[in-house]
Amino acid sequence: MFIYQDKSYSKISGEIAQINLSMEAIILILGFILIVLFITTAVIMKKENYIGKIGSIENSVIKTEKNRKEDKIITLKTKEMGKTKSDDLPK
């Protein structure tokens, strides 16, 4: 009776070990799939230049601020250029 219980216990533990092994295999497969997905998305984003665009967002913000300042300077210059001598005369 004791030997029979020991065998049944070993069968149960063997099944548990198989279940754990299959869970590890599933986790490994899912991890591999995730790694492949990350790599493919990185390759696609690099191919479409999304990564470069994301990196240059801060630079574009700085450039737009500089452009606004330059636009103000240009508008001031054009206003001064548009003036005639009669505009400078006191009225």
* In a shared domain, residues 43 and 56: no
For the stretch 29-72, pLDDT in tens is 999 999 999 999 888 887 777 666 655 555 566 666 666 666 66
Q: Is residue 88 part of a domain?
A: no
* In a shared domain, residues 37 and 58: no
* The pTM of the whole model exceeds 0.85: no
* In a shared domain, residues 71 and 58: yes
Give yes or no for a contact between 66 and 74, defined as CB atoms under 8 angstroms apart.
no
Backbone angles phi, psi at 48, to 5 degrees: -85, 0
* In a shared domain, residues 64 and 74: yes
* In a shared domain, residues 55 and 39: no
Long-range contacts of residues 75-79, Cβ cutoff 8 Å, at least 24 apart: none
Q: Residue 54's domain spans which residues? A: 49-81
Number of domains in the chain: 2
Q: What percent of the chain has pLDDT over 70?
A: 31
